[in-house]
Amino acid sequence: MDNHYEDYIIDTVISLLDILVIIQSKDNQILKTVLVVLLNTVTKDRLIRILFVLLTIIWSEVSE
């Protein structure tokens, strides 16, 4: 039971991170939104989702 609760919290935090990345990105916001939505529908692996969020943050900072 406790593990299920932890999974729910982790998934919620990852979803909030996705939203924050979309909000903070200044350029190609539509493209990043589409990529995040596609990634969420394609994979349920948390590590891949977190790495994608980090990649998007780095991409946003480098492109400035």
pLDDT of residue 25: 67
Give the integer Cα–Cα distance in Å for 35 and 18: 10
What pLDDT is recorded for position 31? Answer: 72
pLDDT (0 to 100) of residue 26: 67
pLDDT in tens, 13-51: 887 877 777 777 666 677 777 777 777 777 777 888 788
Residues in CB range of 21: below 8 A, 6 or more apart: 32, 36, 53, 56, 57, 60
Angle at 11 between CA 53 and CA 29, to 5 degrees: 35
pTM: 0.60
